[in-house]
Amino acid sequence: MSFSVNTNAGALTALQYLSATQGALAKTQTAINSGMKVASARDDGAIYAIAQNQRGAVAGYQSVINSINNGTSSIDVALSAGQSISDLLIQLKQKALSAADSSLDTASRQAINSDFTALRDQITTIVKNAVFNGFNLVDGSTTQVTALASADGTRRITTQAQNMSLSGTIVTLTSTATISTQAKASTLVATIQSSLTNVNAALAKLSAGAAKFSIQATFAQNLSDTLTTGIGNLVDANMAQESASLQSLQVKQQLGIQALSIANQAPQTILGLFQGG
């Protein structure tokens, strides 16, 4: 081993190891502070790029879930309206049957007819107010409700609207129908029953559409959760491992400082070579 006052090889070596330890310690501390082993592209460009792409997919599925939820709400409003219309038709049928009784006097039939027309007009009120987010699936203003089904927006799911307006193909009862006479009442019984059957069939179709939307929403949420877990596997720090690493590096840092201190004292021994006896 040579003695030199210009070059301290031991100190340089100790400094190199100490610098490496300091760098590893800084990285570990960052991982502990952020909870991520890959917090930026500088940490690992390839892993960061993969994680960012997956984050984009997760954001897309959140939009899908929101779209499906909006569609589901529109269907739920339509179902609620259809159920109310079905209940009204049952009451209308009851009123028509009562008015079809030939033994009923005129005053009683007129009273029943007043109730009948009020219930009939209530169907129109329900149909007009069955709106969610601008969509009305029971008034004939739209043919279907559509929602996103994929994160890239290329696939969609749909549910057909069901027009339950008076004088339509489902509710064939007209907006001017009355039971003011026994003959009219008798004729309307079959019409109302047909409308009731049609409405219940339309409700079944809407219910199937709601189930389809619900299944797709569950799938999208599960897929989003799976992708989120995958991102965590890529970039999240193992805190137990980082804690152990931190303690190890802190010991190495202290030893490195001590080694550098010892190496820096080595040139002092050269003075001993020139001291007199």
Q: What per-residue confidence (pLDDT) applies to 3?
A: 65
Model confidence, pTM: 0.76
Task: Show Cβ contacts of residue 2 under 8 Å, excluding neighbours closer than 6 positions.
Answer: none
Q: What per-residue confidence (pLDDT) applies to 241?
A: 75
CB atoms within 10 A of CB 188: 25
Q: What per-residue confidence (pLDDT) applies to 1?
A: 54
Q: What per-residue confidence (pLDDT) applies to 276?
A: 58
Q: What per-residue confidence (pLDDT) applies to 19?
A: 83
Task: Show Cβ contacts of residue 5 under 8 Å, excluding neighbours closer than 6 positions.
Answer: 267, 270
Q: Which residues of the chain have pLDDT under 70?
A: 1-6, 33, 242, 275-277
Q: What per-residue confidence (pLDDT) applies to 126?
A: 97
For helices 182-235 and 45-99, the axis angle rounded to 10 degrees is 170
> In CATH, what class is 45-235?
mainly alpha
Calculate what percentage of the chain has a pLDDT beyond 70: 95
Task: Show Cβ contacts of residue 265 under 8 Å, excluding neighbours closer than 6 positions.
Answer: none
